[in-house]
Structure 1
Amino acid sequence: VTKSNTRLTCKTEREVLDVLGFPWLEPHERNL
């Protein structure tokens, strides 16, 4: 993931969402 020209290595979905500023929800809590 790149943010402000800084490359960040995210190993999990939770880390990606944290970088993007989205809250983590358990799969069963998601309303898709």
Structure 2
Amino acid sequence: MITRTEFLIIYRSVYTSKMVNKICRNYSIF
């Protein structure tokens, strides 16, 4: 079992990476 804080950290990192991918795609940096 993972603790709640670990879950929040993983969730936040995944969420931020998705947001960064979306922003990069919009500005066509990559």
TM-score (norm 2): 0.19
**Computing the radius of gyration over CA atoms, which structure comes out larger, 1 or 2?**
2
Structure richer in strand, relative to its length: 1
TM-score (norm 1): 0.20
Structure richer in helix, relative to its length: 2
Higher relative contact order (CA 8 A, sep 6+): 1
